[in-house]
Chain A
Amino acid sequence: MTSLGSSSSSATEYTVRVPKNTSKKYNIMAFNAGDRVNCSTWTQARMERDMSARRIYGEEETTEGAAGSEFGKKQREEARRKKFGIVTREFKVEDQPWILKVNGKAGKRFKGLKKGGVTENASYYIFTQCPDGAFEAFPVHGWYNFTPQAKHRTLTAEEAEEEWGRRNKVVNHFSIMLQRRLREQEHGEDEGDEAEKSGKKKKKGGRGGDLCIHDLEDDLGMSSDDSDSSMGDDGENKSKVKKNTGKGAKKKKPKSSDKEALEDSDDGDYEGLEVDYMSDESSSDEEPEKGKPNKGEELPKGIDEASESEEESEEEKQNDAEEKEEEEEEEGKKTPVQIEKKKKKDSSGESDTSDDSDIEGETASALFMKKRTPPKRGGRGSAGSSRTGSRPGTPSIDSASTSNTLRAAASKLEQGKRQIQGPGTDSPAAKRLKMEPSSQSPVPSGKSTPQPPSGKSTPSSSDVQLTEEAVRRYLIRKPMTTKDLLKKFQTKRTGLSSEQTVNVLAQILKRLNPERKNINDKMHFYLTE
């Protein structure tokens, strides 16, 4: 190392060596500055090639020799490929990406993709200074760009598209993943894989934190619903699934082809709705679907549920089903607005009472349509229980008595829009309700509560009335625990504080004096009329 001194500049000279015997191949590992990677903080790291592309490239023989193989198959395949000019790219290990794991399992993961064209026109050299002061230059063999891999859960492509469609409506984006997680939990318990998938896809209604209805529904799982759903056999589940699919599908495009046209849809009802074409899959979680204000959908859903609940009721409690049907009839009669529906429901009620286990079709469905509105409120019938179990009933604005599903949908929408911080307020409310003493008997859905004509102008507090009528209706339809009943009468809706709700409920229950039954080690109340 010679140093040249000069007056205005100082320079040091170093020799540059290019070692010849390099057995080591040097590569560049490039990180984005934004990732703030500091190699000195790494305690341990592992790196390996990502060989996942091998099965795409390498035509693997499933059966080598013996069973299933042909003599000379490989040669024939090769000849065929040559004839057609198909050129398959070789699988080069050198070009495969790297997977870098830093600091063990809990640490970061990076994927390093090879950057092409680095060595084509200019060569890169790494200059390191040796202890003797000379520089050594090593040629760079390859350049890999390393990007961190996300460990958090992301939405799938379908879900992302759905959320994109709702981007103008959804205010609280944090709830999107929360909803998804909750949904996953529920689905994982009840349904199989296919239902899960469809459930995730169909969670259109369930999403949107700003629609508080859904949040509450998610949290307010019916205590007996789980048992009911688990009790249901496979056929039931499948029918449920199908129905759910039907509901989901109907959300998007009301399938009135196979169901009676129960209602005309107004313009703009289906605006902004995404069409779901996967009608075969379904989710057991009906709540999200209900949550989605869609008048048209409710009708077909109801039909599905009707038939479904028919089956269930057959297995579980025929009486209850009948009673519910009667209830539905009553509700239907009370509905001022939709006469058509009422008529249909009445007729269905009649047919249902014929005690035909195979009642399916419009009448049953129409009936169940009504039932759906109660479930939305958390109303359950044994028939609807399994469904509602998976799909916590959306707290309908009107009580379940809103047999006018259209109105219910509208009012729900109205409610949802008014709720700005959906999940935030809802979950605490739900928790409060849950904590209330279980001595509270279930409150029947307020069938007698007056239904707002248009739904949209209804203030939320007046939608649900904690009356004896409502409690009675709930209890008649399905045995409920106090917890369940409380969920039906949420403080937001009734305008009462939790303390008041508890007291009023207790009073009502004392008056009603319902019968008790133990389901799943939980005390359920029910009435038989």
Chain B
Amino acid sequence: MSQNTELNLTGVKQSQGMWLVKVPKYLSQQWDNAAEKGEVGKITIGKKQGKTEVHFSLDAELSALGATEEKGGLLQVPRDHPFTVHTVGGQTLAVFSQSSTDEIRLEGMVVYRAECRPVVNDNYMKLKKLQIKESTKPQRISQQLERAVTSVFKPVANHDFNVEYEKKKKSEGKMVRAERQVVLDMLFSAFEKHQYYNIKDLVDITRQPVTYLKEIMREIGTYNSKGTHKSTWELKPEYRHYHSAEEEERESA
């Protein structure tokens, strides 16, 4: 649950304004592969005949890196990307950041929105074609098998699973009736944790034969055949003491 954190407003007051730039996926992937220093390219802002033009060019290394494996480096990630810049129209965009320490900072306001567009040339078209081919490949394909499946079930004297089961049973041995008092103690401690128990679960917990256990349960508990807790056992009211931090008082038979 995140706390009600105070928004750090220092950033927004200082910053002069940010740009929100939409970058194509392949380009952002390249940027992720950038070197440690983080330099990915250069941006050129110029004024051509009065109009501002922004142009981004990708680093040569990164462009080469981005070549797909299949083509063996022939295809390069396009380098030149003019930016289409326009102002933020019907929205007021602000940027806030969340740090790992759960501190929220208002970084600043967006003054320009830009889209990074690649220059449409043959290189780019080839790249796109590859991308499309990749995405249209189905995730599941049918393969033809050379040999037919031959996992026919052969008759077995005793199945593996059964063998294990019997070994387990042998090792644990039959459930022996413990002392009544011991069993009662076990039951009471179990009922301390939960109110309703299945007979099977009780058998599991106490490791007692079912008939013996049922006998004891009939003494100290009742069986719910109806209601929300369908076929469960619970302690009789006089034995119960379900309060949060109080010790349970039990009466032994």
Contacts and interface: CB of A to CB of B under 8 A. Distances in A.
B23 A122 contact: yes
B67 interface: no
B23 A124 contact: yes
A499 interface: no
- Chain B residues touching A, majority SS: strand
Contacts of A70: 194-198, 229, 232
B18 A44 contact: no
Given A29-B96, A46-B6, A122-B23, A129 B16 contact: yes
A32 B45 contact: no
A46 B4 CA distance: 6
A232 interface: no
Interface in A9-50: 9-20, 23-33, 35, 37-40, 42, 44-49
Interface stretch (A60-68, A167-175, A248-256, A357-365): A60-68
A48 B25 contact: no
Contacts, number: 210
Contacts of A11: 44-47, 53
Contact of A125 (B21, B190, B198): B21
Contact of A20 (B6, B25, B36, B96): B36
A247 B23 CA distance: 66
B23 A123 contact: yes
B139 to A, nearest CB: 17
A85 interface: no
Contacts of B138: none
Interface in B46-102: 46-49, 53, 56, 89-100
Interface in A105-150: 121-129, 135, 137-141
Nearest to A100: B7
Contact of B40 (A13, A16, A28): A16
Chain A interface, >50% SS class: strand
Contact of B194 (A24, A37, A65): A65
A72 B43 contact: no
A421 interface: no
B221 interface: no
B107 A40 contact: no
Nearest to B45: A12
Task: Name, among B48, B92, B201, the residue most crowded by chain A CB atoms within 10 Å (CB to CB).
Answer: B92
Nearest to B16: A129
B9 A44 contact: yes
Contacts of B159: none
Interface in B196-215: 196-198, 201
B216 interface: no
B42 A16 contact: yes
Interface residues of B, number: 73
Contacts of B20: 28, 124-127, 140
A71 B56 contact: no
Contacts of B24: 122-123
A11 B99 CA distance: 36
B242 interface: yes
B192 A35 contact: no
A27 B109 contact: no
Contacts of B2: 48-49, 93
Contacts of A100: 7
Contacts of B232: 70
B37 interface: yes
Contact of B43 (A4, A14, A49, A124): A14
A24 B97 contact: yes
A23 B5 contact: no
A164 B61 CA distance: 66
A28 B95 contact: yes
A124 B98 contact: no
A66 B40 CA distance: 61
Contacts of B1: 49, 51, 93
B94 A28 contact: yes
Given A42-B9, A51-B1, A68-B195, A26 B43 contact: no
A122 B3 CA distance: 31
B198 A33 contact: no
A8 interface: yes
Contacts of B110: 28, 126
A296 B24 CA distance: 70
A18 B34 contact: yes
10 contacts: A9-B49, A18-B34, A18-B40, A24-B99, A26-B107, A29-B94, A39-B92, A39-B94, A71-B201, A126-B20
Interface of B: 1-7, 9, 12-13, 15-16, 18-25, 28, 31-32, 34, 36-49, 53, 56, 89-100, 104-110, 114, 190, 192-198, 201, 229, 232, 242, 244
Given A68-B242, A70-B197, 19 more contacts: A11-B46, A13-B43, A13-B45, A29-B94, A32-B91, A33-B91, A39-B12, A39-B106, A40-B12, A48-B2, A48-B4, A66-B242, A68-B195, A69-B194, A69-B195, A71-B196, A123-B28, A127-B21, A137-B21
